[in-house]
Amino acid sequence: KAGVTQTPRYLIKTRGQQVTLSCSPISGHRSVSWYQQTPGQGLQFLFEYFSETQRNKGNFPGRFSGRQFSNSRSEMNVSTLELGDSALYLCASSPRLADSSYEQYFGPGTRLTVT
Amino acid sequence: GENVEQHPSTLSVQEGDSAVIKCTYSDSASNYFPWYKQELGKRPQLIIDIRSNVGEKKDQRIAVTLNKTAKHFSLHITETQPEDSAVYFCAATYLSGGYQKVTFGTGTKLQVIP
């Protein structure tokens, strides 16, 4: 099976702009979670989508949003970019077969730099 | 919300020695505890996990122990090798009724010295 893919891999934006990141999960996986990784804060949970519905959300401002399509692909949008949004954004997919089965497989990430 | 503390933040061991990384969590509802290994410039990869109904799990040179009463779990790597050098993250996950929330530890940078 192909792994989790993310596009683009690298992105440079300026403050105030918006950005959309894309994640394609492993075939058959219905859950996609998004994380922000920074050197100082580690891995921070943004949100999870399952069957096109947001199931849970981390402690991020409303500028961070996402959605999931019927084919399980997911997009994450960040509006009004700030310098502090510079980070590696990782998505992870999971089959989510049951509450007890939650192995996550990470994509390579999108490196976002805000100038 | 859940709070996960991970120690130490950096760890250097000689090749062949053992390495132990410890995590504590605050939410007793957490019931799934994965460990991820992230090599430099690469994505995190699941290396082992444990569920709340199990006290210990082993997979070759790595093992994880869970103490639900004390709310802590640990990763043990024996006979360390240079390729074990990476950042290791623990996580505590609450799964219930179709909802999940995962909290990661801040990571441990393990260096195995040949």
The pLDDT tens digits for B49-105 are 998 888 999 999 999 999 999 999 999 999 999 999 999 999 998 776 666 778 899
Residues 27-46 of B with CB under 8 A from A: 32, 34, 36, 42-46
Q: Which of B44, B106, B100, B93 is nearest to A106 (CA)?
A: B44
B20 has a chain A CB within 8 A of its CB:
no
**What CA–CA distance (Å, rounded) separates A112 from B29?**
34
The angle formed by the CA atoms of residues A96, B62 and B67, to the nearest 5 degrees, is 70
pLDDT single digits (tens) A74-98: 999 999 999 999 999 999 998 865 5
Lowest mean pLDDT among A47-56, B17-26, B59-68: A47-56
For A40-47, what is the mean pLDDT? 85
pLDDT single digits (tens) A26-36: 998 988 999 99
The percent of residues in chain A predicted with pLDDT above 90, rounded, is: 71
User: What residues does A7 pair with on adjacent strands?
Assistant: A22
pLDDT at res. A93: 93
pLDDT at res. B2: 80
pLDDT at res. A2: 82
pLDDT at res. A98: 54
Report in angstroms the alpha-carbon separations of A24 from A70, A95, B58, B103: 12, 13, 32, 23
A106 has a chain B CB within 8 A of its CB:
yes
Max avg pLDDT among A12-21, A51-60, A94-103:
A12-21
Is there a contact between A107 and B43 if contact means CB atoms under 8 Å apart? yes
Read off the tokens for A6. 């993310």
Contacts of B112 (CB under 8 A, 6+ apart): B12, B13, B14, B15, B19, B80, B81, B82, B83, B84, B85
For A6-24, what is the mean pLDDT? 98
Is there a contact between B89 and A42 if contact means CB atoms under 8 Å apart? yes
Contacts of A98 (CB under 8 A, 6+ apart): none
pLDDT single digits (tens) B22-64: 999 999 989 889 999 999 989 999 999 998 888 999 999 999 9
3-state secondary structure of B1: coil
pLDDT band at A104 (very low <50, low <70, confident <90, very high): confident
pLDDT at res. B101: 78
* Residues of A whose CB is below 8 A from B96: 99
The percent of residues in chain A predicted with pLDDT above 70, rounded, is: 94
pLDDT at res. A84: 95
Answer yes or no: are the C-beta atoms of B105 and B81 closer than 8 Å: no
